[in-house]
Amino acid sequence: EDTLLGPVINKIYAQSKLIQSVALVGTYEQNATFRINYLSRVKSLNAGDIEPVRKRISKELSSTYSAKLVAKE
């Protein structure tokens, strides 16, 4: 079953106000690669700030679309 990517992008945005942009970088068969940029106007972000957001994104996409997050560090 094909998954429309617009709703996926909207789900990603909904996980945190720190998400500044989500861009579809590429697709291959049933895989999609997204670039997610984070921004805080009050402080510099570090990995500890981003990790909980990434976990929420992974959990939401997994439960909604049976997707698996393969992260590039």
Distance CA 13, CA 21 (A): 8
Distance CA 62, CA 14 (A): 15
Distance CA 38, CA 48 (A): 13
pLDDT in tens, the chain (73 residues): 677 899 999 999 999 999 999 999 999 988 899 999 999 999 999 999 999 999 999 999 999 998 887 766 5
Distance CA 58, CA 41 (A): 24
Distance CA 35, CA 42 (A): 22
Strand segments, DSSP code E, in the chain are 19-28, 31-38
- Which pLDDT tens digit goes with each residue over 26-42? 999 888 999 999 999 99
